[in-house]
Amino acid sequence: MGKFHLYDKILSPLVTEKTTNLSELNKIVFKVPASSSKKNLKTNIEKIFKVNVTKINIINKRNRVKLTRGKKVKVSGFKKAIITLKKGQSIDLTTGV
């Protein structure tokens, strides 16, 4: 059960143009549950990927309403974590967990 508990704190990696540019600075971006905290994320990522985390920034993206083809569409919000790794370390997101 310990393994499942570790993976519950990371929903998915966010792979966009901005996040790939951040990977050059030893930063990885993950989508995380709303209940997660910096302390839990740090220990879980260090155990899962076997890397050293130096800093974690958490950003809450709010729900918003967007106009698409004349109709209002709800875009759901989420919580994302920007994780800074120790210099020289990296996480390869293409191999999977």
The CATH architecture of the domain made up of 2-85 is 2-Layer Sandwich (3.30)
Residue ranges of domains in the chain: 2-85
3-state secondary structure of 76: coil
Would you say 72 and 66 are in contact if contact means Cβ atoms under 8 Å apart? yes
* Half-sphere exposure in the Cβ direction for 64 (13 Å, CA): 7
- Residue 19 tokens read as 């996040």
Would you say 55 and 47 are in contact if contact means Cβ atoms under 8 Å apart? no
pLDDT tens digit sequence for 32-91:
999 989 999 999 999 988 999 999 999 999 999 999 999 999 999 999 999 999 998 888
- Residue 27 tokens read as 């930063």
> Does the pLDDT at position 30 exceed 60?
yes
Distance CA 28, CA 84 (A): 7
Residue 6: predicted pLDDT = 73
Contacts of residue 35, defined as CB under 8 A and 6 or more positions apart, other chains included, come to none
